[in-house]
Amino acid sequence: MGAPFFHPLSLRNVMSRFWSAGIADLSPYVPGEQPQMQRLIKLNTNENPYGPSPRVLAAIREALGNDADALKLYPDPDARRFKHAIATRFGLELANVHVGNGSDEVLANVFQGLLRHDKPILFPDITYSFYPVYCGLYDVAYDTVPLTGTFEIRVDDYLTPNGGIIFPNPNAPTGRVLASGEIERLLAGNPDSVVVIDEAYIDFGGESAAGLIAKYPNLLVVQTLSKSRSLAGLRLGFAIGHPDLIEALERVKNSFNSYPLDRLAQAAGVAAIEDEAYFDETRQAVIASREALTARLAALGFEVLPSKANFVFARLPSHDAAQLAAALRERSVIVRHFKHARVAQFLRITVGTEPACQALTEALREILDRH
């Protein structure tokens, strides 16, 4: 007798009966595509076009060494050397620092440890799409606050009762930055709420809110080493804030994953933080390329939002954005297109190397010439 046949949908219905309550209602985050095409110009996931510091590679080799047993032991669960490097850079203490596998894991701890309250939290309607995913996963109520007509965050819209506030600065995917004075006004206007500033892209032209931590105990700053320090493949992120906020995150971490950072990642993180010269050299190169790319796109007729990130957000009024992204893909150039109604005619374009940016503009010029 042959095996019983199950239609894929009916099989899923059978198997999903084992799922925990609420899992079927989740809408998981969809990361940017990591295509396997050869000779690809990949400008869709905001990776740094320059490699990590040579000191990072040396630190990884040193951490591994010639000891075959080096990886059989657990790493330092508190990642003290990495925390110390972060604390030193920002003029803080170890008690002000929390670390995790990329800023996404840090944010997961934030949503569990600091943002589950009776009142809904607030974040922009156009922003990092992981926020509503975490709200669904951790049962956090939220309200979205519309960006202005020019896609800016307006602080006055957040001076209302809430269970917490979170947004990226610069915002993603728009790239627009909120000035530090406005962030301080937001903090002063919400003394009873945690304000989380997600600074994944801050090093490309914005001013970090880290200098406000000593003055505002309700401020938590989250950063990543994926972007400005070229370590997206290692997954390193951190939060800095008042020790009381950090303790909440540590409690969540140690109740879920007490060894979040492996031995090699910790060594790489220390080296990346300490090599300030390489960090500044490469981020300045990205900034220069961003300004040049913005000018080239404007010359082609694009409207480009002012960006302080390592990407630009642009639209071409005469062309449909989805069709334009598809035409670029046919020429082995990958950019990011979002389907949200307010930004459906925009493309988010990562700032690549100068040759990559030139190849993008040449492909766009060819597409426009054909139309």
What confidence category does residue 30 fall into, taking pLDDT thresholds of 50, 70 and 90? Answer: low
pLDDT at 6 over 70: no
Question: What pLDDT is attached to residue 24?
Answer: 73
What percentage of the chain reaches a pLDDT higher than 90?
A: 84
Report whether pLDDT(245) > 70.
yes
For residues 22 and 35, give the distance between their C-alpha atoms in angstroms, rounded to a whole number.
Answer: 31
- Ordered domains of the chain (ranges, CATH): 32-51+280-370 (3.90.1150.10), 54-274 (3.40.640.10)
pTM: 0.91
CA 193/CA 122 separation, integer angstroms? 10
User: What's the whole-number mean pLDDT along residues 110-138?
Assistant: 96
Distance CA 40, CA 256 (A): 38
Maximum average pLDDT range among 57-71, 249-263, 290-304 = 290-304
Please tell me the predicted confidence (pLDDT) of residue 32: 58
Q: Give the pLDDT band (50/70/90) at residue 243.
A: very high
Mean pLDDT of 125-133: 95
pLDDT band for position 2 (cuts 50, 70, 90): low
Is cis: bond before 306, omega within 30 of 0? no
Q: Give pLDDT tens digits for 347-362.
A: 999 999 999 999 999 9
pLDDT exceeds cutoff 70 at 305: yes
Average pLDDT over residues 304-331: 96
Give the pLDDT band (50/70/90) at residue 43: very high
* Residues 51-78 pLDDT 10s: 999 999 999 999 988 666 778 889 999 9
What torsion, rounded to 10 degrees, do the Cα atoms 304, 302, 294, 223 define? 40
